[in-house]
């Protein structure tokens, strides 16, 4: 490189490096200046002490009218109402949020309770959603409304966990007013056992000023209402020493006491320290030791697993009574009597006597109800019932049998097959009772219409989770019918209930002539429409929320349009019946086992005259118009298949394939005719059935000959240039 060029290059590089260093210095200064400016603005913003702009709650307003019986503290104050609670013997406090719908409903029934027990209990409602109120500050973690607490004197509040309706709240208030029941005789104890799940009795020495163990027992009776809002476990006090001796209770020392848990089949003695009772330990002992063959299920209306725990996880069939009464009724006692006999495995005299006393008490309840309704013109029933009550106290006689024929209420003995049946089978039933008015959605989801629920207040059915089926008792609820229902289920003689529900559609109204519509059927229509032996049927099984099901319906609608395009003269001329295309919601409609599916969507073809030979559209095959058409054609009878195939053919190659199939079928028919004629040459084979068979073959041959002539005529009529094929994906004639 020459010296001059080298010097120029060196000068240029030096100048470039100087400019680069200058630019880097400027960028560094700009970065420092930007950081300083950002720091200044941040410091200025942090030094500002202006209040944050927030949106305050709207002023609280009363939820009740001004002259309501309930004292309402809608500002969230808690000091004044709790002062009144401490001054009252029994109080009921409702914590609510004004925006909560359940709270708005609960307030109405809460006011009815306040009017009924005016002067007996103090009722107040507190708005616990106001941020400035003391209730919100005292209970900041309260997230569920409404919350109802009952207070007895200065004791701790008892939380009510049941439904907020008036009837249930009334039972809760009655339990607060009388948490203990007085027992004078053994018969009264048996009556309590009939009406409840268990009875916990206490016998104390009331000669002392403060009976040892009484106050913890009283406190336990109140706190147990949190676990048992229906009061299925009754706390009772034995005040008669002779009744205590009959029960085997003998107190040696003055400070001793006795606690026992009486149940339908056994009695347990509470192990305690002679000096005191641990209330928490007593509650746990009662909760885990008490049991009954019939239980009340009362979901709280919020998301929980109570139904799943009782009916599904135990993997045992359950008999459920849906009744409209929250109190012990005639129907609940019938179920309890059957449950007692069903689980009486050792023929216990105690259980047998309890069942007999329950029946007498049940008939007495029904007699009182009919006596109250005497003006309704049913005095004859009352006469029959009074005769029946006396008959139930002894073994049935001939006079009793004659009374049974004339009276609605009759002596109902325990069937020998039922007693102890729960211990002799692997299909042992659990017995439950659910309020149908409180939880109607359970019945609706099982397939019962709202009209049927209102017509029948008492519905009995068996749920079998292993078999995924349930059975409904259709006869009136009597002990005899219920016993037969249980026995028939155990012996597997019941037909499972088929839920049938169809969406209210106006398909027939808007499906005018010239339009193609697909009918959505129910389980009740399945046998009449799909299993009709004279028609082929294509059924699409779907369910709600299935996107692919909606796509399948579109393809089925297109296929129905293709098969509906021929006129009635074409069908009549070729002796072909119309193919039925229908859909069914398989979740809302329960079909027999042989017609159930496990995937959605599922398309099944039911051929005419051979419904048992139904075929499922392959799930591994793409669902499109061409594949669905080929599947339908392949499942038709040979005659119908060729007829429809020639109807859909629009080019020469398709018609030539149809002609080849027709000629092949004619060859087969000719072979059958020759075989039948040779069979008739023998004298012993000459019967009318063989002649009729040959006549049918001749008719079929004549039909296919005419069809072949029509196909050849169509081939000749097609011009040289091929017409555009509407089904360019092609259809395949499957043999």
DSSP codes of every residue in 8-44:
HHHHHHHHHHHHHHHHHHHHHHHHHHHHHHHHHHHHH
Burial 584-623 (b: 16+ CB within 10 A, else e): bbbebbbbeeebebeebbbbbbbbbeebeebeebeeeeeb
Per-residue DSSP letter, 313: I
CA distances from 659 to 41, 158, 307, 652, 668 (A): 92, 88, 64, 10, 14
Residue 433's closest CA among 292, 320, 318, 309?
A: 320
Predicted pLDDT at 49:
53
| Alpha carbon distance 317, 470 (integer Å) | 9
Residues composing the chain:
735
Predicted pLDDT at 399:
41
Predicted pLDDT at 15:
63
Q: In whole angstroms, how large is the CA radius of gyration of the chain?
A: 41
Per-residue DSSP letter, 378: -
Contact 579, 564 (CB under 8 A): no
DSSP string across 558-582: HHHHHHH-S-HHHHHHTT-PPPEEE
| Alpha carbon distance 562, 731 (integer Å) | 13
Q: How far is CA 448 from the centre of its chain?
A: 11
Quick one: CA dihedral 617, 622, 624, 629, positive or negative?
negative
164: left (phi over 0), alpha (psi -120 to 50) or beta: alpha
Contact 626, 596 (CB under 8 A): no
The torsion angle over the Cα atoms of residues 436, 438, 441 and 443, rounded to 10 degrees, is: -10
Neighbours of 684 (CB within 10 A): 5
| Alpha carbon distance 391, 395 (integer Å) | 7
Phi/psi at 537 (5° precision): -140, 135
Quick one: CA dihedral 652, 654, 658, 660, positive or negative?
positive
Antiparallel, parallel or unpaired: β 147-152 and 158-160: antiparallel
| Alpha carbon distance 666, 707 (integer Å) | 11
Contact 648, 714 (CB under 8 A): no
| Alpha carbon distance 181, 657 (integer Å) | 92
Q: How far is CA 519 from the centre of its chain?
A: 27
Burial classification of residue 189, based on how many CB atoms lie within 10 Å of its CB (0-12 exposed, 13-18 middle, 19 or more buried): buried
Predicted pLDDT at 248:
86
- pTM beyond 0.95: the answer is no
Ordered strands of the 258-262 beta sheet: 180-183, 233-238, 198-203, 258-262, 267-269
Quick one: CA dihedral 261, 267, 271, 276, positive or negative?
positive
Residue 660's closest CA among 707, 618, 693?
A: 707
| Alpha carbon distance 635, 106 (integer Å) | 61
The tokens describing 313, both together, are: 């996880």
The tokens describing 303, both together, are: 């998301």
The tokens describing 534, both together, are: 């004279």
H or E element: which one contains 668?
helix 652-680
> Which residues, in sequence order, are bridge partners of residue 580?
537
pLDDT mean by block of 10 residues, the chain; 735 residues: 50 65 78 81 66 63 78 89 90 92 90 92 92 87 88 89 88 93 91 91 87 91 90 92 88 84 93 78 92 82 68 83 79 92 91 90 79 56 40 38 41 72 89 83 74 74 86 89 92 84 56 74 89 92 90 90 67 72 89 87 92 92 90 85 76 77 82 79 64 79 77 68 45 39
The tokens describing 290, both together, are: 């008490």
| Alpha carbon distance 464, 496 (integer Å) | 10
Residue 499's closest CA among 475, 478, 470?
A: 470
């Amino acid at each position: 490189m020459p010296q001059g060029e080298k010097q120029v290059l060196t000068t240029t590089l030096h100048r470039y490096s100087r400019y680069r260093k200058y630019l880097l210095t400027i960028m560094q200064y700009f970065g420092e200046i930007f950081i300083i400016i950002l720091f200044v603005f941040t410091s200025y913003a942090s030094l500002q002490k202006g209040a944050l702009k927030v949106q305050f709650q709207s002023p609280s307003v009363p939820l009740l009218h001004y002259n309501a019986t309930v004292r309402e503290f809608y500002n969230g104050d808690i000091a004044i109402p709790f002062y009144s609670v401490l001054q009252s013997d029994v109080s009921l406090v409702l914590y609510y949020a004004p925006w909560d719908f359940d709270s708005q409903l609960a307030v109405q029934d809460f006011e009815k309770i306040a009017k009924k027990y005016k002067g007996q209990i103090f009722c107040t409602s507190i708005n616990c959603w106001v941020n400035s109120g003391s209730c919100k500050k005292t209970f900041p973690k309260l997230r569920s409304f409404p919350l109802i607490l009952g207070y007895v004197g200065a004791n701790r509040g008892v939380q009510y966990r049941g439904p907020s309706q008036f009837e249930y709240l009334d039972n809760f208030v009655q339990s607060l007013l009388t948490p203990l029941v007085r027992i004078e005789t053994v018969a009264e104890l048996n009556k309590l056992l009939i009406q409840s799940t268990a009875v916990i009795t206490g016998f104390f020495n009331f000669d002392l000023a403060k009976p040892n163990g009484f106050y913890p027992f009283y406190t336990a009776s109140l706190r147990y209402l949190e676990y048992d809002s229906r009061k299925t476990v009754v706390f009772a006090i034995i005040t008669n020493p002779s009744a205590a001796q009959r029960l085997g209770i003998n107190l040696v020392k003055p400070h001793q006491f006795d606690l026992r848990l009486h149940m339908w089949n056994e009695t347990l003695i509470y192990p305690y320290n002679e000096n005191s009772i641990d209330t928490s330990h007593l509650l746990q002992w009662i909760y885990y030791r008490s049991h009954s063959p019939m239980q009340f299920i009362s979901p709280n209306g919020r998301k929980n697993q109570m139904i799943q725990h009782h009916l599904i996880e135990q993997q045992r069939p359950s008999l459920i009574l849906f009744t409209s009464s929250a109190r012990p009724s005639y129907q609940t006692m019938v179920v309890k009597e059957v449950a007692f006999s069903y689980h009486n495995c050792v023929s216990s005299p105690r259980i047998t006597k309890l069942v007999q006393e329950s029946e007498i008490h049940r008939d007495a309840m029904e007699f009182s109800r009919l006596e109250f309704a005497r003006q309704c013109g049913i005095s004859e029933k009352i006469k029959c019932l009074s005769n029946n009550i006396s008959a139930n106290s002894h073994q049935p006689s001939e006079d009793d049998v004659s009374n049974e024929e004339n009276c609605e209420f009759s002596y109902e003995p325990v069937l020998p097959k039922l007693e102890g049946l729960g211990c002799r089978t692997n299909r042992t039933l659990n017995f439950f009772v659910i309020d149908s008015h409180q939880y109607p959605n359970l019945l609706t989801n099982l397939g019962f219409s709202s009209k049927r629920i209102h017509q029948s207040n008492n519905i009995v059915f068996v749920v079998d989770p292993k078999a995924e089926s349930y059975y409904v008792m259709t006869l009136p609820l009597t002990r005899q019918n219920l016993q037969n229902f249980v026995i028939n289920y155990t012996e597997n003689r019941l037909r499972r209930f088929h839920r049938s529900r169809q969406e209210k559609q106006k398909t027939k109204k808007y499906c005018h002539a010239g339009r193609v519509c697909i009918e959505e059927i129910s389980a009740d229509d399945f046998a009449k429409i799909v299993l009709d032996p004279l028609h082929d049927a294509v059924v699409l099984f779907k369910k709600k929320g299935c996107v692919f099901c909606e796509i399948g319906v579109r393809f089925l609608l297109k296929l129905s349009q293709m098969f509906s395009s021929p006129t009635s003269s074409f069908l009549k001329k070729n002796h072909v019946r119309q193919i039925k295309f229908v859909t069914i919601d398989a979740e809302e409609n329960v079909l027999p086992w042989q017609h159930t599916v496990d995937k959605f969507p599922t398309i099944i073809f039911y051929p005419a005259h051979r419904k048992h030979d139904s075929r499922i559209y392959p799930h591994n095959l793409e669902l499109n118009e061409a594949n669905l058409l080929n599947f339908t054609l392949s499942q038709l009878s040979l005659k119908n298949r060729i007829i429809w195939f020639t109807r859909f053919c629009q080019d020469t190659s398709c018609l030539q394939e149809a002609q080849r199939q027709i000629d092949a079928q004619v060859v087969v028919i000719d072979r059958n005719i020759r075989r039948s004629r040779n069979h008739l040459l023998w004298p012993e084979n000459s019967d009318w059935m063989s002649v009729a068979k040959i006549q049918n073959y001749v008719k079929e041959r004549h039909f296919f000959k005419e069809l072949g002539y029509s196909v050849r005529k169509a081939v000749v009529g097609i011009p040289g240039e091929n017409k555009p094929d509407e089904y360019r994906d092609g259809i395949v004639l499957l043999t």
